[in-house]
Amino acid sequence: MSVPDFPEPGILFRDLTPVLADAEAFRAITDELAAPYSGRVDVVAGVEARGFLLAASAAYVLGAGVVAIRKAGKLPPVELLSESYELEYGAATLEMHPAAVPGTRMLLLDDVLATGGTLAATVRMAERAGYVVVGVGVVIELQDLAGRDLLDGLPVSALVSF
* Per-residue model confidence as pLDDT tens digits over 99-114: 999 999 999 999 999 9
Of residues 159 and 78, more confidently modeled: 159
pLDDT at 86 over 90: no
Residues 142, 65, 26, 116, Cα dihedral to 10°: -10
Q: Average pLDDT, stretch 77-93?
A: 89
128 confidence band (pLDDT: 50, 70, 90): very high
Domains of the chain are: 17-161 (3.40.50.2020)
Q: Is 88 a catalytic residue?
A: yes
109 membership: H or E segment, kind and range: strand 105-113
* Per-residue model confidence as pLDDT tens digits over 17-66: 999 999 999 999 999 999 999 999 999 999 999 999 999 999 999 999 99
Q: Tell me, what amino acid is at 132?
A: V
Q: Is 40 a catalytic residue?
A: no
Of the candidates 146, 159, 65, which has an alpha carbon nearest to the alpha carbon of residue 111?
159
CA distance 73 to 10: 28
Angle, helices 50-62 vs 23-34, to 10°: value is 70
- Residues 6 or more apart whose CB falls under 8 angstroms from that of 36 comprise 135, 137, 155, 157
- State the pTM of this model: 0.94
Q: What are phi and psi of 157, to 5 degrees?
A: -105, 120
Instruction: Classify residue 99 by its DSSP letter.
Output: P
Return the pLDDT at 11: 84
pLDDT at 89 over 80: no
Catalytic residue among 24, 50, 105, 127: 50
pLDDT at 78 over 90: no
Return the pLDDT at 88: 74
Catalytic residue among 8, 40, 86, 88: 88
